[in-house]
């Protein structure tokens, strides 16, 4: 982790105190605003300079062909790529006759602040033109949580010394030019002019554009209106054509005067609704925003976030950088899912075009558990979306000759969009991840309606896939061969432990759910014979074990693979996937991301404490963390097996993934799953939280540099508060039901919690069963204890 000043370290803000053009792309992602429906990258108001313009609507995509050097049966024929839709952020400014551009004239001051409590991005600029005319520009931008279709900007211009003429151009722009493609599979495809104009309108202070995509035939509209406050003689004009709508305001400002413009932008899209319907939808959304006004939108935003932080905040004493980072992480997780409303949560949320805007298994494995315990309604909406794509998953399974449902590895609409089948088609664990997310949601919320109408069908169809995909050998053991687990550097292998354990849980959960809900099971043609077969496969599931090394191979015979030559692998050769053939990776003991270690987190009751310690040590020295999904899981298990300082190091890496651009691809959007993983690393790692089989348990312990950890979560409608100090944990309930009780476990001992009285329990000392694990050369995480010591000095900058 390199160290350079980027953003100041503050508890509730991310502050950029000067404009660093080298960090422009990263800041555009960090400062992105979204509500799960609309996403605006943190581009400058005037649009230039930019690294990557970006305005996104959840699930609004274009089709593109997937090229293959050689065709193969069952290969997906087309991909789906998120579209950069009509840009409503643009507000251009001319001072006298000089365009405001931070690259020209003199930038006296430039500061941007992302306020995590208010949910807005503020900008404060003082700029002097080449002619010596200076103005101060202040803007505040939000994407509304309370009004799903609305984004808004308050924009103020004031002269500094002399009277100036100002011209403000507020615009809607479609089909912006995007940066060219790069050779990195994590980057999106570049679409040239994907939007075809259907209608445009301008009049007074309002304008609108409507477009349809060429191939996917999705229709969208964007409309804007303005509230103006300025000199009485100001002039206002609006005009529009196919790809541009503009409202222009001209006035003269003397010192002490200002021009204030509130820009309201409404977005809507549909695959079915007509042009008039979409046009009227955005017009109505604008009227709603005008009714509330700027102050009303800001008040609703703060109220929404006050409620969210009341139940989702994590307090951390002793590491100010991680404290800031985990709050930024939770803010982005909320933005990704708050108003997704039966649409997916993509790997980058709506903060950038990385991975083509696709949703992967990481959403169910990392993001949904966090939402389940903090924003359960958002978790349910995402699972409803998966349920809505079941027919496509059934079709995919039928194409591949399997029963049940084969959910896609990467997608937007629900079709498989991965042209690389070893990572895509073979990564069948996605079905078990979805099933597990549904079960955990039901256990945590007690939502029986969801269980009957959504979870049962998800569980049944995913269980059917396992029974058709796997087989019993001559001795009766059940195998899942030819699969790719979470570690994409070990592909198309046999009996991946993570996949097999998750499939076993899936099969058992499906059998239990079908038994509890016979009416739903009957409607799905589930009979006793099928339930018996599920239970038999689960009971006979093969879990490989190396008796000589006393560890679990992550796939059968993994511990016999050739060792990777780490000494000959220089730091410039990471990530390995960009510098070595996949075939070299598949044949060796090198791990991209936690795989067997991930199994020990989510299926921890299938391993002994001794197994966990030995497995963790074995895989630490082979895991290179070329995936952002690894550090958070390594943090969880490092804490569980007693290596608390190492856990703290990994917590820092997971939380600071985007603030310090550790994987050098934050430019394409933040890593939503890694950010959710920061919550998991703290709550499941240092807090020791588990919910195996619907039983809530904690085993908290703190590393030396953290003095206090406090967090809340929702369980069965009750708000549980956990406060951890070095030698004691305190559990309390906050509920209006004075008779409410909650049973949980603390370090293996039962605790009965009531609303009346908090319960304090001592924390036993951690006793690691192995020595401090080692990592591959050059891949050790940065030591938080050293970074905290340096950050406390007067001279050390924040890490980046």
Q: What is the DSSP string of 711-754?
A: EEEEETTEEEEEEEETTEEEEEEE-S-TT-EEEEEETTEEEEEE
pLDDT of residue 793 exceeding 60: no
Structural domain tally of the chain? Answer: 1
pLDDT of residue 111 exceeding 50: yes
Res 794: pLDDT: 36
- Report the CATH number at residue 256: 2.70.98.40
Burial of 245 (0-12, 13-18, 19+ CB in 10 A): buried
Residue 749: active-site member: no
Q: How far, in Å, CA of 739 to CA of 392, rounded?
A: 46
Res 219: pLDDT: 98
Whether 619 and 640 have beta carbons less than 8 Å apart is answered as no
Q: Is the peptide bond before 49 cis (omega within 30 degrees of 0)?
A: yes
Whether 354 and 29 have beta carbons less than 8 Å apart is answered as no
The residue among 541, 692, 526, 710 whose CA lies nearest residue 605 is 692
Q: Does the residue 164 lie in any domain? A: yes
Quick one: pLDDT band at residue 5, thresholds 50, 70, 90? low
Res 132: pLDDT: 95
Q: Does the residue 17 lie in any domain? A: no
Given 28, 171, 488, 620, which residue is catalytic?
A: 488
Whether 251 and 137 have beta carbons less than 8 Å apart is answered as no
pLDDT of residue 177 exceeding 90: no
Percent of the chain exceeding pLDDT 90 equals 91
Q: How far, in Å, CA of 620 to CA of 625, rounded?
A: 10
In terms of residue numbers, what domain contains 102? 31-293
Query: How much is the average pLDDT of 478-500?
Result: 97
Q: Which two three-digit tokens encode residue 238? A: 């609006």
pLDDT in tens, 118-143: 999 999 999 999 999 999 999 999 99
How many Cβ atoms from other residues are within 10 Å of residue 534's Cβ?
26
The residue among 754, 755, 633, 712 whose CA lies nearest residue 373 is 712
Q: How far, in Å, CA of 138 to CA of 513, rounded?
A: 56
Quick one: pLDDT band at residue 423, thresholds 50, 70, 90? confident
Q: Does the residue 200 lie in any domain? A: yes
Quick one: pLDDT band at residue 3, thresholds 50, 70, 90? very low
Q: Which two three-digit tokens encode residue 368? A: 């949904």
Whether 200 and 210 have beta carbons less than 8 Å apart is answered as yes
Q: What are the distances in angstroms from CA 129 to CA 167, 254, 420, 604?
A: 14, 17, 52, 62
Tell me what the pLDDT averaged over the chain comes to: 95
Query: How much is the average pLDDT of 586-613?
Result: 97
Q: Does the residue 607 lie in any domain? A: no
Percent of the chain exceeding pLDDT 70 equals 96
3-state per-residue secondary structure call for 523-573: HCCCCHHHHHHHHHHHHCECCCCECCCCECCCCCCHHHCEECCHHHCCHHH
Query: How much is the average pLDDT of 386-392?
Result: 98
Quick one: pLDDT band at residue 180, thresholds 50, 70, 90? low
Q: Does the residue 13 lie in any domain? A: no
Q: Which two three-digit tokens encode residue 594? A: 């936690």
pLDDT in tens, 684-700: 999 999 999 999 999 99
Q: Does the residue 109 lie in any domain? A: yes
Give the dihedral sign, CA 725/728/729/733: negative
Query: How much is the average pLDDT of 229-254?
Result: 97
Res 366: pLDDT: 98
In sequence order, what E strands does 284-376 have? Answer: 314-317
pLDDT of residue 235 exceeding 60: yes
Binding site, annotated residues for substrate: 361-362, 592-593
Quick one: pLDDT band at residue 67, thresholds 50, 70, 90? confident
User: Going by C-beta distance under 8 Å and a sequence separation of 6 or more, which residues neighbour residue 737?
Assistant: 755
Query: How much is the average pLDDT of 475-497?
Result: 97
Q: Which two three-digit tokens encode residue 151? A: 């984004």
Q: Does the residue 42 lie in any domain? A: yes
pLDDT of residue 402 exceeding 90: yes
Vertex 383 angle, CA 596 and 395, to 5°: 85
Res 192: pLDDT: 82
pLDDT in tens, 292-308: 999 999 999 999 999 99
Q: Does the residue 116 lie in any domain? A: yes
pLDDT in tens, 24-40: 999 999 999 999 999 99
Query: How much is the average pLDDT of 86-111?
Result: 97
The residue among 83, 400, 363 whose CA lies nearest residue 213 is 83
Q: How far, in Å, CA of 23 to CA of 230, rounded?
A: 35
Whether 315 and 708 have beta carbons less than 8 Å apart is answered as yes
B/e letters for 154-170, b = 16+ CB within 10 Å, e = fewer, are: bbbbbbeeeebebbbbb
Query: How much is the average pLDDT of 453-475?
Result: 98
Query: How much is the average pLDDT of 774-790?
Result: 88
- The SS3 call for residue 758 is coil
The residue among 628, 531, 613 whose CA lies nearest residue 575 is 628
Quick one: pLDDT band at residue 248, thresholds 50, 70, 90? very high
């Amino acid at each position: 982790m390199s160290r350079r000043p980027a953003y100041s370290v503050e508890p509730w803000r991310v502050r950029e105190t000067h404009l660093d053009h080298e960090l422009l792309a990263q800041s555009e992602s960090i400062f992105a605003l979204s509500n799960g429906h609309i996403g605006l990258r943190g581009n400058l108001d005037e649009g230039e300079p930019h690294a990557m313009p970006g305005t996104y609507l959840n699930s609004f995509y274009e089709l593109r062909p997937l090229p293959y050097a050689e065709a193969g049966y069952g290969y997906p024929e087309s991909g789906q790529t998120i579209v950069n839709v009509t840009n409503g952020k643009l507000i251009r400014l001319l001072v006298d006759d000089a365009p405001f551009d931070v690259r020209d004239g003199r930038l006296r001051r430039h500061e941007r602040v992302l306020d995590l409590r208010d949910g807005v991005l503020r900008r404060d600029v003082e700029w002097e033109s080449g002619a010596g005319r200076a103005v101060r520009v202040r803007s505040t931008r939000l994407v509304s949580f309370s009004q799903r279709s609305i984004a808004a900007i308050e924009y103020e211009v004031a002269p500094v010394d002399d009277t100036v003429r100002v011209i403000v151009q507020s615009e809607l722009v479609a089909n912006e030019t995007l940066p060219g493609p790069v050779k990195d599979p994590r980057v999106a495809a570049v679409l040239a002019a994907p939007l075809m104009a259907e209608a445009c309108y301008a009049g007074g202070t309002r304008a609108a554009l409507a477009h349809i995509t060429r191939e996917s035939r999705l229709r969208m509209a964007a409309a804007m209106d303005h509230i103006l406050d300025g000199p009485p003689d100001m002039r206002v004009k609006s005009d529009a054509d196919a790809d541009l709508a503009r409202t222009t305001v001209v006035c003269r400002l003397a010192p002490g005067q200002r021009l204030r413009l509130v820009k309201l932008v409404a977005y809507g899209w549909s695959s079915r609704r007509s042009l008039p319907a979409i046009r009227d939808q955005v017009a109505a959304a604008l009227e709603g925003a005008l009714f509330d006004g700027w102050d009303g939108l800001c008040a609703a935003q703060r109220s929404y976030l006050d409620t969210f932080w009341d139940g989702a905040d994590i307090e951390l004493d002793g590491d100010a950088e991680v404290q800031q980072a985990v709050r930024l992480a939770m803010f982005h997780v909320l933005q990704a899912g708050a108003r997704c409303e039966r649409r997916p949560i993509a790997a980058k949320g709506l903060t950038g075009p990385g991975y083509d805007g696709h949703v992967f298994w990481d959403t169910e494995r990392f993001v949904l558990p966090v939402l389940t315990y903090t924003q359960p309604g958002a978790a349910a909406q995402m699972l409803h979306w998966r349920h809505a794509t079941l027919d496509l998953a059934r079709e995919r399974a039928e194409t591949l000759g399997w029963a049940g449902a084969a959910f896609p590895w990467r997608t937007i609409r629900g079709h498989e969009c991965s042209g690389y089948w070893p990572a895509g088609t073979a990564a069948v664990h996605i079905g078990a991840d979805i099933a597990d997310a549904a079960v955990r949601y039901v256990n945590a919320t007690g939502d029986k309606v969801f269980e009957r109408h959504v979870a049962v069908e998800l569980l049944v169809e995913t269980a059917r896939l396992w029974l058709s995909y796997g087989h019993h050998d001559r001795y009766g053991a059940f195998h899942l061969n030819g699969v790719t687990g979470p570690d994409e550097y070990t592909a198309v292998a046999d009996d991946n432990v993570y996949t097999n354990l998750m499939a076993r849980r899936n099969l058992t959960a499906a059998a239990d759910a079908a038994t509890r809900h016979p009416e739903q099971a009957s409607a799905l043609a589930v009979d006793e014979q099928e339930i018996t077969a599920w239970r038999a496969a689960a009971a006979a599931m093969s879990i490989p074990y190396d008796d000589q090394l006393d560890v679990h191979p992550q796939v059968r015979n993994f511990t016999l693979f050739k060792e990777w030559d780490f000494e000959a692998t220089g730091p410039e050769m990471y990530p390995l996937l960009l510098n070595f053939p996949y075939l070299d990776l598949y044949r060796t003991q090198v791990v991209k991301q936690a795989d067997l270690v991930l199994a020990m987190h989510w299926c921890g009751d299938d391993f002994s404490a001794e197994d966990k310690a030995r497995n963790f040590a074995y895989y630490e020295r082979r895991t290179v963390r070329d995936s952002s999904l690894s550090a958070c899981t390594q943090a969880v298990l490092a804490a569980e097996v007693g290596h608390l300082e190492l856990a703290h190091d990994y917590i820092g890496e997971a939380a600071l993934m985007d603030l310090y651009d550790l994987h050098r691809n934050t430019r394409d959007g933040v890593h939503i799953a890694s950010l959710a993983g920061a919550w998991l690393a703290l709550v499941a790692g240092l807090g020791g939280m588990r919910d195996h089989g619907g039983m809530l348990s904690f085993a908290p312990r703190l590393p030396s540099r953290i003095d206090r950890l406090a967090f809340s979560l929702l369980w069965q409608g009750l708000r549980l508060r956990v406060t951890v100090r070095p030698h004691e944990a305190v559990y309390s309930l906050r509920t209006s039901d004075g008779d409410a009780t909650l049973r949980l476990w603390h370090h293996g001992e039962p605790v009965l919690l009531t609303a009346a009285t908090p319960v304090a329990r001592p924390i036993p000392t951690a006793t690691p069963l192995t020595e401090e694990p080692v990592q591959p050369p050059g891949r050790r995480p940065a030591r938080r204890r050293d970074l905290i010591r340096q950050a406390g000095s007067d001279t050390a900058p924040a890490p980046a």
